Structure 1
C-alpha cells in the first residue's frame, strides 16, 4: 500500500493519527515471540504489576487483631471473622481468595511497611520515585531501564503491555518495548480485510512507517488472542482502567495472558510490566476497593496457576506495588486520603512464602501516616540480584540494602 493511499485510508476510515504515532514507536507481539530460544532456560523472569492510584494497604493486608485498626476507620474496617487470616494478626481482604490460597501454599510473600524517606503524597511525584528508584534526587531513567542498559539494551528484554511505555523501562541509552493491545474498534465503513492490507508493510516506505504498518497488523493478532482469553473466563463487563500515564489499558487478565503466551513460548524477555488502575478512592471506598482487588486477585491467581505448569513459568516472579498507601484514619466520605507506607506482594513458584519486614505501628504515626519500616530499594535490590542476576548497587545508585531473609530462593 503506497504512502498516499495509506494516508487517505487512515483519514477516510477515522483511524487516528495518534494511534499511528503510538504504533510507530511500538513492537509487535511477533517481534517478542520471535526471540524464542534466545535465552538461558534457567533464567528467571520478573513480572511487575503497578497499581495506579495508591491502593489502601490497610484494607488489603488487614491488621485485624489490632484494636487501633477498627478505631481509626470504623465504617471501613472489616470484622475479624470476615478477613482471610494469614496468621494471628494479619489477613487479606475477603475478596482475595486466590492470593490467600497462594499464601497457604507457601508461594506468596508479603513485605510490610514498604516506603521511603520523606514520602511525597502526589500521585505523579510518588510514582516517579518508585519507577526511577530515586527518592533522594530527581532521576531521568527508570530502575529497570538502567538494568536494560546494563543488559545490552535490546528493547525486547523488557516489555510493557500498557498503552504507553512506563518510565520505569526507560534507560539512558535504551528503552523497553511496548506492545499495543486491546480491542480494535473499526468504523462501519472499514473491513478486517482493509485493516489487514493496511498492516502489510511496503519495502519502499520509510522504516518507521513500515513498523507502524506491522503494528496495525499485530493489533488484529492480539485481538484474536484476547477473544480466546474471553472464551476462557474474561468478564465482558470489565472496562479499561485509566492509569496515571494518561492512557487506558486492557484488563489485567488480558495483559497477563499475553505475558503467559510469551513466557511459554520461551521469549527472551526478562521483564514484563503490566498495570491496573482505579485505586484512588477518596469516597465510598469499601465496595469500590473490593471490586478493584477482585480484578487483581483473580487474574494473579490464574496466572500463577498457569505458570506453575511449565518449567519457564516456574521461573517467573511477580511483584505487586502501588505508589503509596492511604492514611490510617478514614475521611468524612468513607474513603481514605493519600498516605505513605504500604505492603508489596511477591508471588511465584520460586518465592518463599511468609511475612517479611516489620509491620508499622497504627498509633506511632507521622502526621497521621504510617512510618515506613522497609525501604522499597531493599525489595528492588532483592529482585535485581535474585531474579535478574545483577548487582543492585550498579542499578540503584550504590544502594546496598537487602530484604532480611530473602523471600526468593537463591541459586
Structure 2
C-alpha cells in the first residue's frame, strides 16, 4: 500500500495526529517508548521536564488570584467578588480562590510561584489570535512556529522530545523542521465499520515499498501499540497521594477530569524515565460570560485536584522532582462584571508555576484595577519573560534564540539553583 493511500486514510479517519507525526518525523521513537515502557539508560544524566497546562477559553485571573484587599475589586464586580475572609490569603494583598485548597498547600510548601499580570503588548481579545500569540511567543508579528517547536528545531531534537496528550497537536509544539507528537488520552477512536485488524493491515510492510512507505507503515503499528498502552492504563488505576488525603487517580472515563487523565499519563511516562522533555495538556471551558461563579469554581476545583495530585505524586521520585508545571490561559477577563453575572474577554492574568524545583512566592506586580486600558488590565509582566525563564532554567536553552521578534527576555527567579 502506498504512503499516499495511508495518508488519505489518516485524514479521513481523523487519527492524523500521532501517526502522521510519527511518519513525518521519521520516528517511531516516542510511540515505541510509550508502548513498551522503555527507559533511558540508568547512567544517563538527569534532565528537567516541562509540563505546559493550557486553560482554554480565557481564565478569570481576578477570581483565581484574587486582589481581595483592593476596594476596586469589590466595586467592579459586586456579584462575583469574594469576601476577604473566604479568600486563601497569600499575602496582605492577594490570595487564591477558596476552592484552590490543594494549591494553597503547595504554596505553603514553597513549591508554587504566582506570576502576576502576565500578558503582551497591544493585546488581542480573540481566543484564537491571543492563544496563537501565547503559544508562538510572538506578539509583534505572526509566525508559524511555536516557542517549543523552535527549541525542537534548533536542538535537532528527537521526535519523542515533546508530546501532547491532547486531541490535536497544539501550535506551541510545532516547529519548522520538527514537531512534537500527539497521542490522545482516550486511545484509538476508529470510524464506524473500521476494525483494529484493518488498521493493523495498514501497518504491514509490503515487498518493494520505499523507505518512506515503510515509515508510514511503522506509524500505524505504533498507533496500535499506544492504543493498547492507554487502554491498559484505564484498567489499572494508579494510587496517588493527595494534599487533602489519600485518593486514587485513575485514567478511566467518567471517573476523573480530562486534565487528570492527561496528567496521569504524564506521570507514568516521567516515572518510566521516557526521554520526553516537554508535555502539553489542557483543560477547556473557561469562557465564562454568564453565571460565572459556579461554573468557574467547578473548573478551578478540577484544576486544583489534578495539579495537587500530580505535584504530590511527582515529589515521590527523583525524576518527578525535576518536573516543572506552567499553567496559563490566552487572556484574563475584564475587570467589571457584565449584566449576565459573568465576565467578558480581557487581557492580562496570572501564570502559575509549580514543582519541587520552584522557588515559591509572588513575582511581578499586580495590575492596577483603576488605571485601566479601555476597562482592561495593563500587563505588568511580558509572557516572553515567563517562557524565556522556562527555556533557560528548565530546557537549558538560550531564550533569545526561541522568542519571537528578537525579544531579549528578562529572567525571573522562578526556580531554585541546582
TM-score range, shorter chain: 0.7 to 0.9
Q: Name whichever of 195-204 and 390-399 sits farther off.
A: 195-204
TM-score by length of 1: 0.87
Give the direction of change, closer, same or farther, for the CA distance of 1:40–1:325 in structure 2 (3 Å limit). Answer: farther
Of 305, 327, 330, the residue aligned with 2:334 is 327
Alpha-carbon distance in structure 2 between the residues aligned to 1:152 and 1:315 = 22
Alpha-carbon distance in structure 2 between the residues aligned to 1:330 and 1:314 = 40
Q: Which digits, 9 at most, give the CA deviation of each residue in 1:114-169, with x for residues without a partner?
A: 00110000000000101111001111110000001112131211111111111111
Aligned length: 390
Q: Which digits, 9 at most, give the CA deviation of each residue in 1:42-80, with x for residues without a partner?
A: 221111111110000000001111111111001111111
Alpha-carbon distance in structure 2 between the residues aligned to 1:334 and 1:386 = 41
Q: Structure 1: where are the runs of 5+ without partners?
A: 241-249
Secondary structure in 2 aligned to 1:181? coil
Match of residue 13 from structure 2: 18
Give the direction of change, closer, same or farther, for the CA distance of 1:176–1:90 in structure 2 (3 Å limit). Answer: same
Secondary structure in 2 aligned to 1:82? coil
Secondary structure in 2 aligned to 1:139? coil
Alpha-carbon distance in structure 2 between the residues aligned to 1:111 and 1:401 = 15
Match of residue 63 from structure 2: 59
Alpha-carbon distance in structure 2 between the residues aligned to 1:214 and 1:268 = 17
Q: Structure 2: where are the runs of 5+ without partners?
A: 23-29, 240-247
Shift of 1:36: 2.6
What is the root-mean-square deviation in Å for CA atoms of aligned residues? 2.8
User: How do 1:394-409 residues align onto structure 2 when only pairs under 5 Å count?
Assistant: 394-397=401-404, 398-404=406-412, 406-409=413-416
Match of residue 141 from structure 1: 145
Alpha-carbon distance in structure 2 between the residues aligned to 1:42 and 1:186 = 38
Shift of 1:295: 1.3
1:51·1:321 contact (CA, 8 Å) conserved in 2? yes
Alpha-carbon distance in structure 2 between the residues aligned to 1:218 and 1:237 = 17
User: How do 1:25-40 residues align onto structure 2 when only pairs under 5 Å count?
Assistant: 25-27=20-22, 29-32=31-34, 33-34=37-38, 36-37=40-41, 40=44
Alpha-carbon distance in structure 2 between the residues aligned to 1:153 and 1:237 = 33
1:102·1:301 contact (CA, 8 Å) conserved in 2? yes
Match of residue 247 from structure 1: none
Alpha-carbon distance in structure 2 between the residues aligned to 1:399 and 1:22 = 31
TM-score by length of 2: 0.86
User: How do 1:82-161 residues align onto structure 2 when only pairs under 5 Å count?
Assistant: 82-161=86-165
Give the direction of change, closer, same or farther, for the CA distance of 1:189–1:385 in structure 2 (3 Å limit). Answer: closer
Give the direction of change, closer, same or farther, for the CA distance of 1:173–1:237 in structure 2 (3 Å limit). Answer: closer
